[in-house]
Amino acid sequence: MKAVILAGGKGTRIAEESALRPKPMITIGGKPMLWHIMRIYAAHGITHFIICLGYKGHLIKDYFRDYFMHSADAVDIDLATNRIEYEHGAPDRWRVTLVETGDDTQTGGRLKRIRRWVADDEAFCMTYGDGLADIDVTALVRFHASHGKYATMTAVSPPGRFGAVDLADDRVVKFVEKPDMHDRVINGGYFVLSPKVLDYIEGDDTIWERGPLEELAAQSQLRAFRHRGFWQHMDTVHEREILEDLWASGKPPWIAGG
């Protein structure tokens, strides 16, 4: 199974950082947010990633081009022979496909643009480049396979400012823009999707969270996987500080064994 990560947005609410780099490249504990998200999937055996690039996407390309250098425990450079050797304690055995999806493309449009990199008959994971969770991806994928619908969305209980989701059991009924947050859940990312959902996306200007998700919900093709553990979005400097403090504690909850 592949994991698609949307990594092309500008991150305007955290402009102090995103003026210099795309939001998924903002670091937590010296590692890009993108790396942390990939670690979540890799802990469940999903190691082929399709990264949707946009704003300052060249910085993500540079990072993975030099990944061995960034992640090595030791680097031995022999200038006489122009040879470089890397020593890794436990190298990440990941495959990473980097796809340019346009600087101004909306979330649905980015997803549509990776159509040829996903199989016609195989579900794939998808998430955003700015949220961390201790989600059980194995259970999420199993739940998706069990109900046979086109899409599964992880539903989480958040702090206050997000639009919410109405559920009937695990069926997504509708989206609520300005909810009373009592007993509400929100879209926490971490989807599992049939390739058929790409037919619900018209083009670059399509916002995944509006037309396509709403239509899937209306057609009873969207189910919710309830996640009651740790979840933290990073949209502001304060939210980044929350994640940094958790990393500094030595037991970040989104890292397996953390």
pLDDT tens digit sequence for 154-212: 999 875 555 556 667 778 777 666 555 455 788 999 999 999 999 999 999 999 998 99
What is the reported pTM? 0.87
| 126 falls within a domain | yes
| 96 falls within a domain | yes
| 8 falls within a domain | yes
pLDDT tops 80 at residue 107: yes
Give the strand pairing for 27-28 and 31-32: antiparallel
Q: CA 8 to CA 60: how far, in whole Å?
A: 10
Domain region containing 78: 2-248
Query: 13: which residues sit within 8 A by CB, 6+ positions away?
Result: 235, 236
pLDDT tens digit sequence for 72-98: 889 899 999 999 888 876 678 899 999
Number of folded domains that form the chain: 1
Q: CA 251 to CA 33: how far, in whole Å?
A: 16
| 257 falls within a domain | no
| 57 falls within a domain | yes
| 254 falls within a domain | no
Q: CA 23 to CA 5: how far, in whole Å?
A: 12
3-state SS of 60-89?
A: HHHHHHCHHHHHCCEEEEECCCCEEEEECC
| 200 falls within a domain | yes
What is the chain's mean pLDDT, rounded?
89
> What are the φ and ψ backbone dihedral angles of 150, each rounded to 5 degrees?
-75, -30
Say what the pLDDT of residue 48 is.
97
Q: CA 250 to CA 204: how far, in whole Å?
A: 41
User: What token pair was written down for 40?
Assistant: 């979540």
For position 26, which CATH number holds? 3.90.550.10
DSSP sequence for 108-143:
HHHHHHTGGGS-TT--EEEEETTEEE---HHHHHHH
Cross-strand bridge partners of residue 86: 75
Whether the CB-CB separation of 90 and 105 falls below 8 Å is answered with no
The residue behind tokens 């540079």 is 62
Say what the pLDDT of residue 64 is.
94
Whether the CB-CB separation of 242 and 131 falls below 8 Å is answered with no
| 258 falls within a domain | no
> What are the φ and ψ backbone dihedral angles of 173, each rounded to 5 degrees?
-95, -50
